Amino acid sequence: MPIARSIPFFALAALTACLSLPQVARTPGATVQQMLSGASVVGALADGTSYCEFHDPGGLVVGRDTEVYAGTWRMNGDSICYTYTGEATDCQFVQINGTRAVFVDMLGGATLSQGNIVPGNVCS
């Protein structure tokens, strides 16, 4: 019996959908960790709102856009995961080119934010 016939249709459809997801370009996690640890990202969110976010080497993140906020950041393989106060954890890929960082949705590759990497905390 062919393998395809022994797999229920819905499972085969789900597997096909997963295999057809676009490949999202990303910088390796170790490079992201090295570039962002102890640095700020100064740029804009996808909606054009300006933001600044400092990545403390100890895993804290502090930033400001329309207000000041805080949370934590950590690497999970090649993705960076943020947990802001009162919000669920959000993971995304980062594309780094020189000192430019673009944060992208892991599934569709949509740009979430982008900015320049600046050494130290320039956000407060």
pLDDT value at 101 more than 80: yes
Tell me, yes or no, if the pTM score tops 0.85. no
Q: How far does Cα 119 stand from its chain's mean position?
A: 19
Contact between 42 and 122 (Cβ < 8 Å): yes
CB atoms within 10 A of CB 26: 21
DSSP 108: T
Question: Which ranges of the chain does DSSP label H, i.e. alpha helix?
Answer: 3-6, 9-19, 29-36
pLDDT value at 1 more than 50: no
- CA distances to 7, 15, 49, 102 from 91, rounded to whole Å, are 31, 22, 20, 13
**Residue 22, token pair as written in the block:** 């676009």
Query: Nearest-5° angle of CA 123, CA 91, CA 88?
Result: 85
**How do residues 32-86 score in pLDDT, each as one tens digit?**
999 999 999 999 999 999 999 999 999 999 999 999 999 999 999 999 999 998 8
Percent of the chain with pLDDT over 90: 75
